[in-house]
């Protein structure tokens, strides 16, 4: 199991690989030219931002507070621990 610090020390490519293989997909939103997938990975939420071609990953971001989940909470129900 990874801690948040250990996960953040990985390269974005390694982070994305782990989340896509081991994470639990929860939901997605679309922002401009990006499709943003939300995953539960071990003990935290992770966003993977896919560029318009839906193959290229532009960003991997760990969500560390409840406010970061607000865009998702409007359309799904998540049990959020703070």
Query: So what's the pLDDT on residue 75?
Result: 81
pLDDT digits (tens, 9 = 90+) for 21-59: 999 999 999 988 899 999 999 999 999 999 988 789 999
Say if 59 falls within a structural domain. Answer: yes
Check which CATH number belongs to the domain holding 47 and give it.
3.30.67
Query: How many domains does the chain contain in total?
Result: 1
Record the tokens describing residue 17, joined without a space. 């690989």
Domain residues for the domain of 42 are: 4-73
Say if 46 falls within a structural domain. Answer: yes
3-state SS of the chain is CCCHHHHHCCCHHHHHHHHHHHCEEEEEEEECCEEEEEEEECCEEEEEEECCCCCCEEEEEEECCHHHHHHHHCCCCCCCCC
pLDDT digits (tens, 9 = 90+) for 5-30: 999 999 999 999 999 999 999 999 99
Say if 69 falls within a structural domain. Answer: yes
Say if 82 falls within a structural domain. Answer: no
From residue 49, alpha-carbon distances to 1, 64, 81, 82 in Å are 23, 16, 23, 23
């Amino acid at each position: 199991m990874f801690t948040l610090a250990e996960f953040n020390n990985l390269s974005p490519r390694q982070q994305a690989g782990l989340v896509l293989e081991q994470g639990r997909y929860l939901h997605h939103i679309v922002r401009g030219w990006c499709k943003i997938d939300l995953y539960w990975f071990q003990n935290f939420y992770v966003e993977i931002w896919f560029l318009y071609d839906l193959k290229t990953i532009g960003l991997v971001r760990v969500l560390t507070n409840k406010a970061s989940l607000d865009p998702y909470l409007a359309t799904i129900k998540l049990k959020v621990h703070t």
